[in-house]
Structure 1
Amino acid sequence: MVSLAILLLAWWLDTRLGEPARFHPLVGFGNYAAWLERQLRRLPLAARWQGIIAFLLAMLPVVPFAFAAAIFSGGFYVLLGSLVVYLAMAYRALREHALHVYRALEAEDLPLARLEIAKIVSRETAELSEGEVCTACIESVLENGSDAIFSAWFWWLLLGFPGVVLYRLVNTLDAMWGYKNTRYRYFGWAAARADDVMNYLPARSVAWCYSLAGNAKQGLRCWREQGYRWKSPNAGPVMAAGAGSLTITLGGAARYHGVMQTRMTLGVGATPVAQDILRALNLVRLALWIWLAHAVVVCVGIFLLFSLIERGFV
């Protein structure tokens, strides 16, 4: 139960403070990873091996400190745990970025909305229509809600300090190197596969909670019928469940790095409008409470089971 209390404290810190404007540890880690990439690309090795070595060298200096932090107890453990989880999540930042897009659309300033959405998506945004901006924004809210909040919480509850630190570092490397373009298709293979593995279970717990937070019947059906066919094994279930739950349509063609990609359609209903961005944000918030409620039930169940085992009833 202490771990759950730490999640709530970290969430409170994030909503009050947001991401640190300066000296964020992940910025330093990203700079270190970029330096590693420059050095490893000079080696006379295949790009995949360069990426594997870079991935291991990026992880090795940091992970031991996470295991060492797990030995602390008492009030210091609570404070340190809350700080680490707070730094690993980005609820307020995700919400603020989406609201900037929404406000630009409400002001009928499509050029500004395109500039704002470009900050949180990797597709080309200069020629997006209003509906495409809304689609891109909601896709980012649903997918990054899973990556930047739920998965960090999942690994904190499962493995504590080592789990949440390992997850956040892997996810950061995937964000830097996990592109399927000429530069990173092979170099980023290790980071992308590690991120797929670490997000597999969290993403499905998110798809379940997204479904329950809205139109559950449609969310579960879209997850079951559409999620596995998306290009990403984890983003697919999350976005399909979210789109179905909101009864909107996501996906469709999008241009990445100069190449137009034909993406399948996710969800049911009409193309999203600006107001649906607010609905998506509310869906994520409600899903967080649903996820926490499930976590409480699981933790209480485990506690009762071990109590029964200690007393010889099981």
Structure 2
Amino acid sequence: MSILALILALALEQLRPISNRNPLYLAFVRGANRLERNLNAGEYRNGVYAWLIAVLPLLLVTVLGYWLLNMVSVFLGLAWCVLWLYLTMGFRQFSHAFTGISKALQEDDLAGARALLADWTGQSTSELTPDEVARLTIEQGVLDAFRFVFATLFWFVALAWVAGPAGAVLYRAACLLQQKWGGRDDAFGRFADAVLELLDYLPVRFTAAGYAIMGNFEDAVECWRSQAHTWGNFSNGILLAAAGGALGVKLGEALHQDHTIKLRPEIGVGEPASADYLPSAVGLVWRNVLLWVAVVLLFSFAQWVA
């Protein structure tokens, strides 16, 4: 069931990609904003209450819907899983931007590449050099692949046997709430930060291991061990260090932004990032996706045999 739902959702998402600005996401974000306005009194417990109010009803609908439909027909339960996976995963959400930037750089259209990158990341890109655009594109692609594919897939598979698509829904909701409430000096958002950090712990390491297996294993592991802690966000550092080592490319380093030079740690190993490495980065992500699909297939087969 899990592997079939995954394959169908990935195929559907490739044929008709869904935007992260779709009505369901926007409705959830508006609800999160309303909860913050009404409940944020500057205390940690208010953030806990708001998180539970935002997430628990959504999980209840997801789980009850799966149980009821699965009792009527296995195929209806499968369709329910495919629907929620389609809504929560988003390989095309980043691969489309990645492809557009790569094409623009190959055509020496730096302005176009900067514009696509700015729309994707929300960062200032007007002063970036071509190599800096390529470097930031690889970094954003690695992080988005984790958020929209690998972590969502991990939690779907982990809970699918009992709760259908609830794991994928839980992870996507946790991501959205952390984006809205977390990452700031505010007690209200600390619970959202803590939940996402907990949910990320295992899939971050499995994803990094996948990059190592699908690329240069020794360099990926060495960069992971020696460089991940230098990045501001340790989980992101693990992903970027492993991907950079697997590709044999240097990430991080300085960026020309906001009329100054933004200094960042060097992460990865090998040649400086350039547009020539963008196809290799896409290939690494795809190989990792196929590895995960193969693992899920074996897991499903083992369950079926048992």
TM-score, scaled to structure 2: 0.88
CA distance in 2, matches of 1:263, 1:151: 25
Amino acid at match of 2:204: A
Cα shift at 1:287: 0.6
The alpha-carbon distance between structure 1 residues 22 and 261, as it changes in their structure 2 partners (threshold 3 A), is: closer
Partner of 1:147: 147
Q: What does the per-residue CA deviation read over 1:60-96, in whole Å, with 9 as the maximum and x for residues that have no partner?
A: 3312112212313200011110111111111012110
CA distance in 1, matches of 2:300, 2:230: 33
Report which stretch shifted further, 99-108 or 201-210. 99-108
Q: What does the per-residue CA deviation read over 1:232-267, in whole Å, with 9 as the maximum and x for residues that have no partner?
A: 232121111111111001112458899975432111
Cα contact 1:123–1:255 (8 A) shared by 2:
no
Partner of 1:65: 61
Amino acid at match of 1:16: L
Summarize the alignment of residues 166-181 of structure 1 with structure 2, pairs less than 5 Å apart: 166-180=170-184
Summarize the alignment of residues 1-314 of structure 1 with structure 2, pairs less than 5 Å apart: 2-19=1-18, 23-41=22-40, 45-46=41-42, 48-71=44-67, 72-73=69-70, 74-160=74-160, 161-180=165-184, 185-254=186-255, 262-304=263-305, 307=306
Report which stretch shifted further, 163-172 or 254-263. 254-263
Cα contact 1:131–1:273 (8 A) shared by 2:
yes
Cα contact 1:47–1:187 (8 A) shared by 2:
yes
CA distance in 2, matches of 1:250, 1:23: 32
Amino acid at match of 2:216: N
Cα contact 1:153–1:164 (8 A) shared by 2:
yes
* % identical equivalent positions: 28
CA distance in 2, matches of 1:134, 1:145: 16
Cα shift at 1:7: 0.5
Partner of 1:311: none
CA distance in 1, matches of 2:52, 2:87: 22
Amino acid at match of 1:167: Y
Higher helix share: 2
What's the RMSD between the two structures over aligned residues? 2.4
Q: Secondary structure of the residue that 2:271 maps to in structure 1?
A: coil
Gaps of at least 5 residues in structure 1 are 308-314
Cα contact 2:211–2:284 (8 A) shared by 1:
yes
CA distance in 2, matches of 1:13, 1:231: 36
Cα contact 2:254–2:263 (8 A) shared by 1:
yes
The alignment covers a number of residue pairs equal to 298
Q: Secondary structure of the residue that 2:251 maps to in structure 1?
A: strand
The alpha-carbon distance between structure 1 residues 214 and 100, as it changes in their structure 2 partners (threshold 3 A), is: same
Cα shift at 1:301: 4.0
Gaps of at least 5 residues in structure 2 are none
Partner of 1:310: none
